[in-house]
Structure formats: C-alpha cells, structure tokens
Amino acid sequence: MEDRLYTVKYNDPGDSHLDVKVSDICVQCDSYDCVRVCPANVWRESEEGVPHIAYENCLECSSCRYACSHDNVVWTYPETGAGVTFKHG
C-alpha cells in the first residue's frame, strides 16, 4: 500500500480541507474511527486527544467523514486544482 501511495501526486492546497467540528468530542472519543479508517495515514492520534491531520496526503476518499460515529468531521474538497491527482492505467 505504501509503495502505491508514493505514486500519487498531491498539490498542497495550503490550507486544510479537513477538520473536526468540536474538539471536546474528540477528546472524549475512544474509537478514533478517523484514524483507523484512513488509508493514507492522514488522521493521527495525539496525546491531547484531538487528532493531528496531515491533510496534504488526503486521497479525498471521504471515508473519515462517514466513519466518525460522532459526525464530527468537517470535510470539503480542496480548492480547484489542488489536492490529489490519480493516474489510471
């Protein structure tokens, strides 16, 4: 999987298109569904309880948005022209 991720091109949008809605909900969350479901290791557990978000590596698959059982993920597409580029074939 990691080898394949190296072939993906990202154009850093400069600002995160991902966030949490309410930090305190993450602090009390013990499932970390966002971390477990992300195929690109974008969401990472932190000692403070609010996950770190390495948004630059996001594959825009939407999994974190639906996995969070607290509906606590802010998810938008990066600005046009930024984000991930997939090559098929």
The helix (run of H) or strand (run of E) holding residue 4 is helix 2-5
Residues numbered 48 to 67 that lie near ligand SF4 (CB under 6 A) are 51, 58-64
Quickly count: other Cβ atoms within 10 Å of residue 51's Cβ.
Answer: 22
Quickly count: other Cβ atoms within 10 Å of residue 5's Cβ.
Answer: 13
Contact with ligand SF4 (CB under 6 A): which of 26, 47, 82, 86? 26
Looking up tokens 């971390």, which residue turns up? 35
- Taking the complex as a whole, how short is the minimal distance between the CB of residue 13 and ligand SF4, in angstroms? 12
Is residue 10 a contact residue for ligand SF4 (CB under 6 A)? no
- Of 61 and 82, nearer to ligand SF4 (C-beta) is 61
